[in-house]
Structure 1
């Protein structure tokens, strides 16, 4: 019944569409009753839990469709296309977005290792997004977290502890081994992605990234592609273009968006944008009616 109670809380607090903060750092509720087609977005490290309706995300051609039976785990910044193609007044999208604090996720992972709960060895490459079944530990921790919103005092005093409990439930659940590998202290690729995401407007050298990761260019390229399904160059380009698309949809001019994500040449930006999205950035921006918060 935990999921049902979570839905009731969201319905009570959100009589209209949108996204609202809960008072707990990184935790937001959302509601949508209109369909939004998949559009460019960037997922930062997060969990998205749906209690009504469904969402869709596409990463490098791989489609992830999830609803109240599964939550989505994305432990690293990823350029995706995302939307709510089936939302309607009769079938509203209701759910929660929980940002994942890398420092805290790493801290809990280390404590789990020290307690003897080791990460199973991984065979081959793994997708950068994982869908995981809701389990009792996750449901109960999420319910206790959202119940805090009824009291500002409870939220202030217990918010950090309840969020930590939810993080632990994630790391113990079906997505746990996947998430723990991403947040492991020695994961050089995850560190490279985090560094890249914070410096998109600056020149990027794959050789420098490989050097900082302590790898040769060839090894770095191979491990990066295993982690993200994309080459480093493809990943950088996708991140920049997706960020730019979101900025244009939000009202920024094409030239401003291009400069903001590191493009010196506006013509090069327009060519690469059109190659990826099938339209010039100006035409694409004019055609968009995006609720970016729900992408």
Structure 2
């Protein structure tokens, strides 16, 4: 009897998830009619639509929640590969350079998702105001993780999108719904690391400070001892926690960030040599070698291909 009750409850929960997801598909389609990213009047909320698969595209993801309601996307961070589809959300709790690719989208069923920026001070505030039970998951998870979307999280996101049809309510209601979204994330298994990064004094919080420092100073020569000082930990400890958090070493993180920034600047009209020197390379030939190894072709050829019709809009 108990087993049957659990099965019936699961069936009802799945049906509710499907219904809310179908509503979100309709709402995002209504507010995001063009290809790529669409901003909204709600600060930090963006909608995304793409009607065909894309080539690999570099991007710098910041702390955010991405809820996928249709389609499929692959994200490479360091040596890790994550795949997101209509049943999942992507939680990013620190700044990370990634390479992403839409792998499931058609004109009849485009990939659709919403992105909500996450502010660490707000996460910290919610943790200080409410005694939330620990999810029981280890806090050594990556700074980017994929979770299964629940009806409660989808419902909060759906109500947030509803505000786009009632802009007069955005100033009062948006912040309340965003707090609910963060609450739902913190209650999820993927919330463990979001909690750790927001908690002052935690190893992850200190490592996140090193990540932020490196992001702001990527063009400078990397001195690991200086970076360890920012995190207030030993060099070997920093290496361990940095790799656990980002799936990269500090040097790999710096290199990928430099390449991403250089690519962005070339897409905006800068020549390869100038972009290389601006992001910290002392040798244009070394930059070209590392760029080709990472993106699969030389800088200017890659930039030219990114400008072709059908290329993925930059994120």
Above 0.5 in TM-score? yes
Map of 2:298 onto structure 1: 280
**After the TM superposition, which segments of 4 or more aligned residues of structure 1 sit over 4 Å from their partners?**
none
Is there any run of 5+ residues in structure 1 with no aligned partner, and where?
Answer: none
Quick one: distance in 2 between partners of 1:15 and 1:208? 48
Map of 1:42 onto structure 2: 60
Quick one: distance in 1 between partners of 2:104 and 2:121? 35
Matched, 1:152 2:173: no
Cα offset, 1:116, TM superposition: 5.3
| CA pair 185-292 structure 1, distance change in 2 beyond 3 A | farther
Cα offset, 1:171, TM superposition: 1.2
CA displacement 1:82-135 (0-9 Å, x = unmatched): 0212222022011101111121122223334xx253464627x43332111111
Quick one: distance in 2 between partners of 1:214 and 1:119? 27
Matched, 1:248 2:269: no
2:150 aligned residue (106, 129, 135): 135
Matched, 1:194 2:206: no
CA displacement 1:210-237 (0-9 Å, x = unmatched): 0121112122112212222221111111
Alignment of 1:27-66 (within 5 A): 27-66=45-84
Quick one: distance in 1 between partners of 2:193 and 2:296? 34
1:162 aligned residue (177, 182, 186): 177
Map of 1:104 onto structure 2: 122
Quick one: distance in 2 between partners of 1:284 and 1:12? 34
Contact in 2 for aligned 1:54/1:84 (Cα 8 Å): yes
Contact in 1 for aligned 2:48/2:114 (Cα 8 Å): yes
Is there any run of 5+ residues in structure 2 with no aligned partner, and where?
Answer: 1-18
CA displacement 1:241-287 (0-9 Å, x = unmatched): 12222333344332343234232432332222123233221122122
Which structure has more relative contact order (CA 8 Å, sep 6+)? It is 1
Contact in 2 for aligned 1:201/1:260 (Cα 8 Å): yes
